[in-house]
Structure 1
Amino acid sequence: MSRWRCLLIPLLILGMSLAACSRVGLAYRNLDVIIPWSLNDYLEMTGEQKSWFDQRLQQHLHWHCSTQLPGYLDWLDRLQLMVQDNQVNDQALQARTQEAKQAIAEIARQVAPSAIELLQGLDDQQVAQLNKSLAKDLQERREQYLEPSLAQQIEQRSQRMDKRLKAWLGSLSPSQQRRVERWSVSLGEQNRQWIANRAHWQALFRAAVQQRRSSDFPQRVEQLLIERESLWTDDYRQAYAHTEEAARSLLVDLMADSSPEQRQRLLKKLDGVRKDFSALKCLQNARQN
């Protein structure tokens, strides 16, 4: 479930290290591929299912815009103040990250009942198609992230990070580039642990869907969507804690080594995100009601 983070970039200080959306409005209009219950990429819905899906999606969009977006604007204000006051430190980053996680969990809680209802209505052919699509997704990720040697994985990870940071800060200085390289090296076999955990989650998900008529199916799906961390493998749990700490450390060091021009660019980008959110018609309508 990677693309749904696109909307949440403005919610995550780690957004500087994740794939950024060029326009918030575009991301918002495509929330159906961002929220963690979208199955459009994995199965072919019937006309009735698609109609139901579109109706539920609009309901979720209205809820999200009227109840969640105002909080995102407040979050962005706090983030901008951190940069303006030169207070991008580990404690502040932990606070913003925790707030972002809470926002993600709130979305998952909201859409879980719809996900349950949709999955319960699948026929056996759709379930087989879903399983096939999930297996294909996993294989493609293994080919992309695990087939290269560890040295290549580290280099590719560094290049991806450099590209993402450049969108927010502009070109990195030589010392900043070296810091990114050290960050990438420190993550080591993170790709392998991530893919293994993804495979573990998919296996649990497939097993649950296979028993979608059972009385405990809603509880199983809620755990899969809302309490994902409780289902992580032990290796990934440790790797994730290290990855998150390493990301915060990287951002603290990069900002401490940033130029006035880079900080101004970052503030301008954040202000642009805020303006994009504020300009969304659904938010303006919600404020008027």
Structure 2
Amino acid sequence: MHNHLTGRSKLLLLSIAALLLLSACSRINLAYRNLDILIPWSLNDYLDMNSAQQARLKAQLREHQAWHCRSQLPIYLEGLETLQREVDEDRIEIATLRAHQRKMHQAIEAIAVRISPSASELLGSLDERQVRRLQETLAEKQRQLQEKFVEPELPRQIRERAERMQERVEHWTGRLDAAQRQRILQWSHALGEQNRRWLDNRRHWQAALVEAVKRRHDADFPTRLAPLLQEPEAFWTDAYRRSVPRTEQATLELIRDLYAMASAVQRSRLSQRLQGLHDDLASLDCLDEARP
């Protein structure tokens, strides 16, 4: 139900690629087991990797996946259990939501730190043709996003943003009533020109990435790349930086209010969805190695 990750997504950050793939799959455990296939397939749109690069990346992804399952998934499961308990006990408040938000950010940071050496190795191995492909694809994706999210008139942006949020919420709660839909529209109005700020920020980060990749053969390339993955906030535009606290606060208040407005049926469905997500993750065979 949280909308801020989309604003921070970095297309070459493997952790985000993984999250996007997982969220698009009806069975998270199936997607998780096949990340070593799915992520190279997704990244190939940008890099057109050769067979040696693909083989090396798959091997590294298997190592990262084992680490993630062993050290991170147990934390996710604990967080889901806590969240479901808070839902069942009517304790969805700003403070509890902020606690989950902090844990989410910590999880992303841990993944970014872990995959930085692999990202450095992969990007450092690119030839000139692959770098051009990367630049061209990033520019084309940016153009598509500009056309979809920024070029429409602001009232349409607000309406479509509300529709996207409504769809995400209804996945967890079932159909929303008129008052809940109006609350989402109010949230979308409050965000105003956030689409433009997000896309400008995305362009700014990508420009820094491309500049770093152009100097991929320099000895300090890993050091130059690491902050882009591990500390993306350092590359935010001023406008986006100013907007983030407001956007996060507005979204947390939206989640709190929608929960307060939820019917017993909606709350039950939310609890069942959380339990299903927990069960999917808990069924992964790799977790056996993490259990005492």
* More contact order relative to length (CA 8 Å, sep ≥ 6): 2
Match of 2:216 among 206, 212, 216: 212
Once the two structures are superposed, residues 97-133 of structure 1 have per-residue CA deviations (whole angstroms, 9 ceiling, x without a partner) of 0011000100000000000011111111111111111
For 1:100 and 1:90, the matched residues in 2 are separated by 15
1:28 Cα offset (Å): 1.5
Match of 1:142 among 139, 146, 149: 146
For 2:45 and 2:29, the matched residues in 1 are separated by 21
Q: In structure 1, what is the equivalent of residue 94 of structure 2?
A: 90
Q: In structure 1, what is the equivalent of residue 184 of structure 2?
A: 180
Q: Is the counterpart of residue 242 in structure 1 residue 246 in structure 2?
A: yes
1:79-228 to 2 correspondence within 5 Å?
79-228=83-232
8 A contact 1:154–1:185 mirrored in 2: yes
Which segment is superposed worse, 115-124 or 276-285?
A: 276-285
1:285 Cα offset (Å): 4.4
Q: Is the counterpart of residue 54 in structure 1 residue 53 in structure 2?
A: no
C-alpha distance 222-66 of structure 1, shift in aligned 2 (>3 A): same
1:34 Cα offset (Å): 8.4
1:205 Cα offset (Å): 0.3
For 1:179 and 1:48, the matched residues in 2 are separated by 51
1:53 Cα offset (Å): 0.9
- 2:115 corresponds to which letter in structure 1? V
- 1:184 corresponds to which letter in structure 2? S
Q: TM-score, normalised on structure 2?
A: 0.90
1:213 Cα offset (Å): 1.3
1:30 Cα offset (Å): 4.9
8 A contact 1:162–1:177 mirrored in 2: yes
Q: TM-score, normalised on structure 1?
A: 0.91
1:31 Cα offset (Å): 3.6
Contiguous gaps of at least 5 residues in structure 2: 1-8
1:282 Cα offset (Å): 1.6
8 A contact 1:20–1:164 mirrored in 2: no
Which segment is superposed worse, 202-211 or 232-241?
A: 232-241
Q: Is the counterpart of residue 259 in structure 1 residue 263 in structure 2?
A: yes
Q: Size of the alignment, in residue pairs?
A: 279
- Stretches (4+) displaced over 6 A: 33-36
8 A contact 1:35–1:107 mirrored in 2: no
C-alpha distance 34-174 of structure 1, shift in aligned 2 (>3 A): farther
1:286 Cα offset (Å): 4.0
For 1:242 and 1:31, the matched residues in 2 are separated by 34
Once the two structures are superposed, residues 153-203 of structure 1 have per-residue CA deviations (whole angstroms, 9 ceiling, x without a partner) of 001001111111111011111111110010011100000000000000010
Match of 1:274 among 271, 278, 283: 278
8 A contact 1:6–1:21 mirrored in 2: no
Identity %: 44
Contiguous gaps of at least 5 residues in structure 1: 10-18
Let me know the Cα RMSD of the aligned residues: 2.2
8 A contact 2:36–2:62 mirrored in 1: no
1:230 Cα offset (Å): 1.2
C-alpha distance 239-26 of structure 1, shift in aligned 2 (>3 A): farther
SS of match in other structure, 2:109: helix
8 A contact 2:187–2:250 mirrored in 1: yes
Q: In structure 2, what is the equivalent of residue 45 of structure 1?
A: 49
For 1:32 and 1:241, the matched residues in 2 are separated by 35
For 2:16 and 2:224, the matched residues in 1 are separated by 23
